[in-house]
Amino acid sequence: RLFNKRVFCVVCCDLRFRLTHLGGKEGRVCVTCHSTLINRGYLKEQYYHNCHTDINSLVVPLRTLRKEQKKVWFADSVLPRNEASSVNTSPTRRDSSQTHPPTAAQVESTHVSVRFSFLLIPKGWELKQMHWCCVDYTVEEKRTESSLLEELEQGLTEPLVFVLNANLLAMVKIVSYMNRRCWCVMSKGMHAVGQPEVVVLLQCLPEEKRFPTDIFSHFIQIYWDAQTAGKLLNHLSHSSAARGFLGGSEHAGFLYVRPTFQSLDGLPLPPQPFLFGLLVLRAELPWARAFPLRLLLRLGAEYRFYPCPLFSVRFREPLFGQIRNSIMRLLVDFRFYRYTLPVVTGMMVDLEARSTFITIPKTRHAELLKVLNRSIERVLAMAACFNERADSHLICVQTADGEYQTQAISIHSQPRRVTGSCFFVFSGSLKASSGYLAKSSIVEDGLMVQVTMETMLELRRALRDMRDFTLTCGKLHQSDRQEYVHIRWQDEEPCFNKGIISPIDGKSMESITCVKTCQRLEYRATGKVIRWTEVFFLQKEKQVNGHSRDANQKRLTEQFARAFCLTLCQSLCLLKEDGMSKLGLRITLDGQKFLAGSNGQCLPEHYQDSLKQALMAVVQSASQYCQHTSLQFELIFYILEDIL
């Protein structure tokens, strides 16, 4: 029974808000909670609203700083009305920080004081506190969209820069790529939340006179999801967009890919890591979610680029229609996506003359065991990774009548020797009386192998024991027509972290294990935030007791990260002004060596001395674990503007 309570139905009260505990998804909230969430400074809805308005009310254009200008000071960090400000040097999630702009005596004569346009501020908000920082750009006064387009048409050497928030920029340039006139829109600032930068090449429409501002709003969405919910986009990930995205009701979002064989000549690119976003239509969205490699290769066949184009075309015809009689309907739940084809990182399938090779990295044995434990006894199906060593790849094409056909796409002007496959299926449905040792066939863009139940059990034992295994396919007593399927374990796995270097000394991080931090470890002080984003394990002990060892390493790296942040907390403004917004800390426990740096150089000596004292205290407190260990790792941090 309710006393003095009023219950509202969904028709009368249907307020919703994106909630962190729901992973950034919208949830129903009451009127009081909705008002509280708005007033506490959750900026996303306000930013997202601005992204659908005219470009002049969305962003402030920036121009590259002239050589004679050494530094530029500008004000940012928009805070909500009635937001309490306090200096806090403890790890927080939503607290704002208060700082004071430098006095006239503190600002050198070469510094130019400028202010963000109030058009950046959502409705109902006001500029409450001035935050000052040094950047390599100077803010221009409000410009018309037509004047900005004229500058782009003139072929500027440097991209136009737009402010999406105090920590996120969008770089825009019109380029000629593969004889196509394209918008090149790339982000700058995603790395600070652990997210690879995003590049979108969008083919221009005839006589187009508007900026593709929907891409700006999508960048803000990606940034917000990474910062608040920890949702990070990687190779073959996808992001969804509302109807009407980029002017088309069928535009559904982007599929993200790493460039491999494609040309990057003439493109202004961000530092590694970065991803290219390929526009996906609504009819193609199920494949982007469940089996993205099929969609990627089908795009390559459509535009004759191997393995796929890097540009997107609006208002094109969908490459896939309604899902009909595909083998994927048996392997993937296209309705609720409760199950799909599992993928083991680095596993590839090569088709050669009368031989098929399934290659699995030894370091991924634990992942394979999980797949074996979850699969049914009679069927083993897995998706493969794109094979950069292959010169061609199987693709699946859906015809006008809805049927699926097998084709192949290859590198231009190269003979086909090794053909990659998108998946494999081992089925234990073959009867011993059939007269076949095993049957292998190509189904759509994958490999189907039928074996007896006894062979299936033997195959599973070999995979669990990490042993090489060979299957002979064909009829008995016909060795001249037999084919072979080889399962091989390899010591090396494909290269990753390509192009990533250490901020300390430029050391290459290629093929070094990197772990993104799950928890948001942030410290706020003087209007800045220092954030720990990832850890690279340069040297790792052989795991005797895997779970406990990983847990100890996780706790240890977190303790070092906290000590690093607390030590530098009061110097964040100075570090940011000196251009040291990305910091690295390399720790070698065997010998107790510590090295911190930024921009390829070590930090000044007074920082090093303070850090050494704080880090030695961590070593002493964790001496039980640190003793007799050869662990070496590098922590990555970013200094940001405190905008929440």
Q: Which residue has the tokens 């090779």?
A: 357
Question: Could you tell me if 394 and 306 are in contact, meaning their C-beta atoms sit under 8 angstroms apart?
Answer: no
Which pLDDT band holds residue 198 (cuts at 50, 70, 90)?
very high
- Contacts of residue 534, defined as CB under 8 A and 6 or more positions apart, other chains included, come to 194, 514, 515, 516, 517, 635, 636
- Name the burial class of residue 217, with classes exposed (0-12), middle (13-18) and buried (19+) by CB atoms within 10 angstroms of its CB: buried
User: What does the alpha-carbon distance between residue 282 and residue 298 come to, in Å, rounded to a whole number?
Assistant: 15
Q: In this model, does residue 135 exceed pLDDT 70? A: no
Q: Could you give the dihedral angle defined by the CA atoms of residues 270, 273, 278 and 280, in that order, rounded to the nearest 10 degrees?
A: -130
Tell me if 51 is assigned to some domain: no
Instruction: Pick the closest to residue 367 from 503, 464, 288, 252 (CA basis).
Output: 464
Q: What is the mean pLDDT of residues 171-195?
A: 94
Percent of the chain with pLDDT over 70: 77
Residues 191 and 233 occupy one common structural domain: yes
Tell me if 293 is assigned to some domain: yes
Centroid of chain to Cα 524: 25
pLDDT digits (tens, 9 = 90+) for 320-363: 999 988 999 999 999 999 999 999 999 999 999 889 999 999 99
Residues 529 and 629 occupy one common structural domain: yes
Residues 552 and 604 occupy one common structural domain: yes
User: What does the alpha-carbon distance between residue 280 and residue 298 come to, in Å, rounded to a whole number?
Assistant: 12
Residue 121 identity: I
Domain count, the chain: 4
User: What does the alpha-carbon distance between residue 595 and residue 608 come to, in Å, rounded to a whole number?
Assistant: 8
Last residue of a domain, one of 142, 160, 185: 142
Tell me if 330 is assigned to some domain: no
Q: In this model, does residue 549 exceed pLDDT 50? A: yes
Q: Which region holds residue 587: left if phi is over 0, alpha if psi is between -120 and 50, else beta?
A: beta
User: What does the alpha-carbon distance between residue 70 and residue 453 come to, in Å, rounded to a whole number?
Assistant: 73
Last residue of a domain, one of 440, 455, 490: 490
Which tokens go with 513?
A: 């294990």
Residues 177 and 130 occupy one common structural domain: no
User: What does the alpha-carbon distance between residue 232 and residue 534 come to, in Å, rounded to a whole number?
Assistant: 12
- Domain of residue 396, CATH code: 3.30.1360.220
Cis peptide before 307 (omega within 30 of 0): yes
Residues 398 and 461 occupy one common structural domain: yes
Tell me if 334 is assigned to some domain: no
pLDDT digits (tens, 9 = 90+) for 231-261: 999 999 999 999 999 999 999 999 999 999 9
Strands 311-312, 197-203: pairing kind: parallel
Which pLDDT band holds residue 145 (cuts at 50, 70, 90)?
confident
Tell me if 12 is assigned to some domain: no
Q: What is the mean pLDDT of residues 208-229?
A: 91
Residues 176 and 133 occupy one common structural domain: no
pLDDT digits (tens, 9 = 90+) for 590-635: 777 899 999 999 999 999 989 988 998 888 876 666 555 678 899 9
Tell me if 22 is assigned to some domain: no
pLDDT digits (tens, 9 = 90+) for 550-567: 777 888 899 999 999 999
Which tokens go with 202?
A: 């969008």
- Contacts of residue 31, defined as CB under 8 A and 6 or more positions apart, other chains included, come to 13, 15
Q: In this model, does residue 531 exceed pLDDT 50? A: yes
Coil vs helix vs strand at 73: strand
Q: Which region holds residue 527: left if phi is over 0, alpha if psi is between -120 and 50, else beta?
A: left
pLDDT digits (tens, 9 = 90+) for 91-134: 443 333 333 333 323 223 223 223 332 223 233 322 222 222 33
Residue 598 identity: S
**Residue 276 phi/psi, 5° resolution?**
-95, 135
**pTM of the predicted structure, to 2 decimals:** 0.80
Task: Give the residue ranges of DSSP H helices in 256-399.
Answer: 285-290, 292-303, 328-331, 365-374
Determine how many CB atoms are found less than 10 A away from the CB of residue 47. Answer: 21
Tell me if 228 is assigned to some domain: yes
Q: What is the 3-state secondary structure (H, E, C) of 434-446?
A: HCEEEEEEEECCE
Axis crossing angle, helix 365-374 with helix 453-464, rounded to the nearest 10: 150
pLDDT digits (tens, 9 = 90+) for 413-451: 788 889 999 999 999 999 988 889 999 999 999 999 999
Given this model, what pLDDT does residue 139 score? 60
Residues 138 and 148 occupy one common structural domain: no
Which pLDDT band holds residue 81 (cuts at 50, 70, 90)?
very low
User: What does the alpha-carbon distance between residue 472 and residue 580 come to, in Å, rounded to a whole number?
Assistant: 59
CA–CA distances in Å: residue 337 to residues 283, 288, 292, 384, 434: 16, 12, 14, 19, 36
Q: In what side-by-side order are the strands of the sheet with 469-475? A: 379-383, 423-427, 446-450, 436-443, 469-475, 483-490, 355-361, 348-352, 419-420, 392-398, 404-410
Residues 151 and 138 occupy one common structural domain: no
Given this model, what pLDDT does residue 142 score? 62
Residues 444 and 414 occupy one common structural domain: yes
Q: Of 138 and 342, which is predicted with more confidence?
A: 342
Given this model, what pLDDT does residue 300 score? 96
Residues 182 and 83 occupy one common structural domain: no
Residues 622 and 577 occupy one common structural domain: yes
Question: Could you tell me if 1 and 39 are in contact, meaning their C-beta atoms sit under 8 angstroms apart?
Answer: no
- Domain of residue 619, CATH code: 3.30.500.40
**Domain span at 298:** 144-325
Which pLDDT band holds residue 264 (cuts at 50, 70, 90)?
very high
Residues 449 and 555 occupy one common structural domain: no
Determine how many CB atoms are found less than 10 A away from the CB of residue 373. Answer: 8
Question: Could you tell me if 268 and 182 are in contact, meaning their C-beta atoms sit under 8 angstroms apart?
Answer: no
User: What does the alpha-carbon distance between residue 200 and residue 312 come to, in Å, rounded to a whole number?
Assistant: 8
Last residue of a domain, one of 107, 142, 177: 142
End-to-end CA distance of the chain: 41
Q: Which residue has the tokens 């065991």?
A: 369
